[in-house]
Chains A and B, each alone.
Chain A
Amino acid sequence: MTTLPVVKPVSPAPAAAAAVKKVNIIGLERTDYKGADSTLCAGCGHDSIASQIITACYEVGLSPERLIKFSGIGCSSKSPAYFMSRSFGINTLHGRMATVATGALTANHKLNGIGVSGDGDTGSIGLGNFKHMLRRNVHMVYIIENNGVYGLTKGQFSATADVGQELKHAGRNELPPIDLCLEALAADCGFVARGFAGDPKQVVALIKAALSHRGTAVLDIISPCVTFNNKDESTKSYAWGKANDERINDFTFVAPQVEITAEFEPGESKEVELHDGSRILLKRLDQGHNPTDRYAAMTLLQQAREKQMFITGLIYVDSSRESLAEHENLGDVPLARLPNEKLRPSKDTLQKIMASMA
């Protein structure tokens, strides 16, 4: 049976180190999760998300050496350089992160993956590859830093721009937006969430839960582009987000083996178990959205799209579908760690094949 990487740390922190400096459960400091200095515009939503990724990985105790960072091309796709320098990273081609990640995480299915893409990168040039990756259910967190615009090429419309969105040079968008959460759901993605870069707490919680999902977890995070699309009327701006953010649920992520302390009244909460034994505790289910109901998730997204409602939270979760590595039945030793003698079949096997062709 194929086993996927778990975020759960292997050994607890050395006590001595813990006494001196603030460290996480594997004994690393927050600075061990740092990246290079950002070159993005001051105030860019993408930078805020990068620091939430750092927080989430630090807090769950993910070993930087056990993570691969992926991205496509765009301002957003630059950001893997700005978090976790001790992790391998690969800044691929525009729209092609999904394909490279599929190969790399099949080659080594014991590593965790976090991908950062943009709305242009995923919603336009890479839409096909994105959906095929979801169909295969590659085990990784797929973050879309969605600003409704092409930042790096200076302000063209992206396919997620809402009807009526106006840009300085491009004018007014009249075409219906592509909702990447809906697309993900349609492609049988088992973890679909939307966040807002202006709500760091929720982003951290979503990333933590996403890391424990089995297969691809899609996080569509509205991430304002302060340079090209941050006018108050824009549905992708900070102001709009702050004023209109409607949380569809509150939840707490509970790491494996951690006891649930009574935060919720009994009957008020729902528990969803993720593949590595961690759980999501959902609050206020009676009034809100039930993220284990796929049709409800689709309806919710469709309504929000029609009414331009800014909903955030966990939209859909179902960890039951096997990931690509499991589907391929990969063994305990990652393909990339097979010794040479396992790569080349023996001489007699070739001789037998040759004899059969005489």
Chain B
Amino acid sequence: MSIAEVNTEPQAGQTAERPLIVDDFSISVATKNGSGSQTANTTLLRALFKMGIPVSGKNVFPSNIQGMPTWYTIRVSKDNYIGRRLHAEIVVAMNPATALEDHQLVEPGGVFMYADDIKIPLNRSDLSYYPIPVKKIASENETDPKLRSYVANMVYVGALAQLLNINLSDIEGALLYHFRGKRKPVDSNMKVVRLSAEWVKANLPKTDPFIVSKLNLTDGLIMIDGNTAAGLGAIYGGVTFAAWYPITPATGVADALNEYLPRLRIDPVTKAPTYAIIQAEDELAALGMVIGAGWAGVRSMTSTSGPGISLMAEFTGYGYFADIPAVIWDVQRMGPSTGMPTKVSQGDIIPAHYLGHGDGRHPCLIPGSVYECFEFGWRAFDVAERLQTPVFVLSDLDLGMNQWMTKPFDYPEEPINRGKVLTAEDLKKLGIGGYKRYRDVDGDGVAWRTLPGTDHPAAAYFTRGTGHNDEAKLSERTDDWEKSMARLARKFETARSIVPAPIVDQVEDAEVGIIAYGSTDAPIVEARSMLAEAGIKTSYMRVRALPLSHAVKAFVAAHKRTYIVEMNSDAQMCQLVRLDMPELATAVRPCNHNDGMPLTAVWISGAITDKEKSK
């Protein structure tokens, strides 16, 4: 076939003989950054979701505002597998700059839909080709050249809807969701979608086997990104003070606070806000403010990503030594400084856990779904205030910025737990000399605290990062220092039982265990069934926090080999697991990959199969 010469006749060996493939494929849309394709892509995603078909959407975007290549992939899966797939069966090429490669990467037997002004050799006999007159339809419908590229994106939505059988009413519903019920933009977008669908119907006979068909597998579910879930979770955990500094991919957390707090935390009587949000001058200042607010007695948090975490090191160490609660929400991204700021990674596990100076390990909660982003959003405050220490929540870019299906978030069942705080009344009862800020009266490493403004002459104490005794008095005595450190070690043990426990699926007579955490859950579920088909039975433990639960050791002990699947180069969780159980270290095997993209089930099952061959 020559350049842009397209055979729109049904091709031999396609629809005629191939069975239909229903609700089980991936779509990849290649566009330019800043061209407004997000509306089109999330509309497609939500329309499929509304049809009851399990979906996941992943935005693969550059650190750029306009012009660089961007891909959006949608996985459609009747089997509920929502991990990323490496290549798509259906590719929509809207960006001439990447069309050549996009074309090569279409799965065999797939679809190549393209804007008809893209000129590349269309030389694969296994594909169905659909040229779409995107510019023509767009310019006929939009006179404003600035809006034309937005409209152009709706052209491929209409074309896909026609070819794949997506209900136009569900597309309209998705647009209504996107535009928050505003009729005007919905109507103008729908007009283009309809025209495009009609044009395809009249001009392009279907030659591929892919279609969607209504299911009921998303009934009762919602779709949301992990950052919004985090913000909402924090709000239902009573967040009262937040300080932050803009950084991809964490900004969405602060955006959610800024969107929902004004609706949910205005005093009904006085109309005054019962919260404060400050955009700080940098991350160091953000955590300084959060530490100050936490010390003074409010539930306070910051959100950031790797580079911000490094700036927060000194304050984290300080909070640890001075026993000050704080929640640090880390949406992990790839690498140092600017690294690959729009790519995912689980590279902050060790840095966050050990952040600071000198000794110190911090509790880290690790959500594996948007549902858990919400749950850990509120739980993190209970953990931080009960333990009186900085607590990290380690989300990542994939969880944080992409849309995920989930059951609706449950309202927290447990009452708010503000930890050990003494009031003026309590002090009166305790009598003179009864209160010592750092005395471990309960033996769990967590001492009672008072809050500034407590109206009692014995309430005050002086907080410092310097050595102190249990009365919070300056001390450089070696025995006082050792006592402080021993108390903090007890606190770390207390943390083990307070943080969320792992979730385990232990399979009888499985020799192989898999330990993973965070957003890799989705591909692991799929990889396990691939492994099972290949004859490798696996148990699965999803770790949800540091310090590691004692159950981790039992899990490792119950399997001959346990693979720690993770997205970083240093096999960070693997190192931590081995540290916790040196006697079992050889049974603990790294299985890590770190290229900036979410793991795929194919990679995980392949890697474990290979490792099993050479065990």
Contact = CB atoms under 8 A, between A and B. Distances in A.
Contacts of B291: 92, 99-100, 103
A17 to B, nearest CB: 15
Interface in A270-315: none
Interface string A96-116: 101111111111101100000
Contacts of B221: 358
A9 interface: no
A319 B288 CA distance: 27
B185 interface: no
Interface string B434-469: 000000000000000011111111011111111000
A129 interface: yes
Contacts of B460: 64-65, 85-89
A139 B238 CA distance: 25
Interface in B226-240: 232, 235-238, 240
B533 to A, nearest CB: 34
A103 B325 CA distance: 13
A295 B239 CA distance: 43
A232 B397 CA distance: 60
Interface in B399-448: 408-409, 411-412, 415-416, 418
A350 B236 contact: yes
A137 interface: no
A345 B411 CA distance: 10
B335 interface: no
B516 interface: no
Given A80-B462, A90-B463, A330-B276, A110 B453 contact: yes
B273 interface: yes
Contacts of B455: 65
Interface stretch (A40-48, A164-172, A260-268, A335-343): A335-343
Contact of B241 (A132, A335, A340): A335
Contact of A103 (B296, B418, B450, B473): B296
B284 A336 contact: no
A95 to B, nearest CB: 9
Interface in A65-99: 65-66, 68-69, 80-81, 85-93, 96, 98-99
A203 to B, nearest CB: 23
Contacts of B223: 357
Contacts of A354: 222, 408-409
A100 B289 contact: yes
Nearest to B374: A350
B298 A92 contact: no
A103 B241 CA distance: 8
A128 interface: yes
A328 interface: yes
B278 A106 contact: yes
A81 B318 contact: no
Contacts of B275: 335
Interface string A328-356: 11111011111010111101011101110
Contact of A65 (B270, B295, B409, B454): B454
Contact of A93 (B267, B288, B295, B452): B288
Interface in B245-290: 260, 263-265, 267, 270, 272-276, 278, 280-282, 284-290
Given A92-B318, A331-B270, A332-B270, A111 B457 contact: no
Contacts of B270: 331-332
Contacts of B412: 344
Contact of B282 (A81, A128, A331, A351): A128
Given A81-B462, A100-B292, A344 B238 contact: yes
B56 interface: no
Given A128-B282, A335-B298, A347 B240 contact: no
A335 B300 CA distance: 11
A91 B465 contact: yes
Contacts, number: 214
Given A81-B474, A334-B453, A350-B411, A100 B295 contact: yes
A185 B295 CA distance: 30
A218 to B, nearest CB: 18
B273 A330 contact: yes
A329 B272 contact: yes
A349 B275 CA distance: 17
Contacts of B294: 103, 107
Contacts of B4: none
A101 B290 CA distance: 10
B81 interface: no
Given A103-B243, A103-B288, A104-B296, A93 B315 contact: yes
B297 interface: yes
Contacts of A106: 241, 276, 278, 289, 292-293
A332 B463 CA distance: 27
Contacts of A66: 453
B409 to A, nearest CB: 6
Interface in A177-208: none
Contacts of A350: 232, 236, 409, 411
A195 B364 CA distance: 48
Contacts of A98: 285, 288
B292 A93 contact: no
Contacts of A85: 460, 462
A321 to B, nearest CB: 17
A335 B295 contact: no
Given A99-B280, A337-B297, 19 more contacts: A92-B288, A96-B315, A100-B291, A103-B243, A103-B295, A108-B297, A108-B451, A108-B452, A110-B453, A128-B281, A132-B281, A136-B278, A329-B273, A331-B272, A331-B274, A336-B297, A343-B299, A345-B236, A357-B224
Q: What 9 A-B pairs come out closest when comparing CB atoms? A: A99-B288, A103-B292, A343-B238, A331-B272, A103-B289, A336-B297, A100-B292, A103-B293, A107-B296
16 contacts: A65-B459, A69-B462, A88-B461, A91-B464, A96-B284, A100-B289, A102-B278, A103-B289, A110-B453, A330-B272, A330-B276, A340-B238, A344-B416, A345-B265, A354-B222, A358-B220
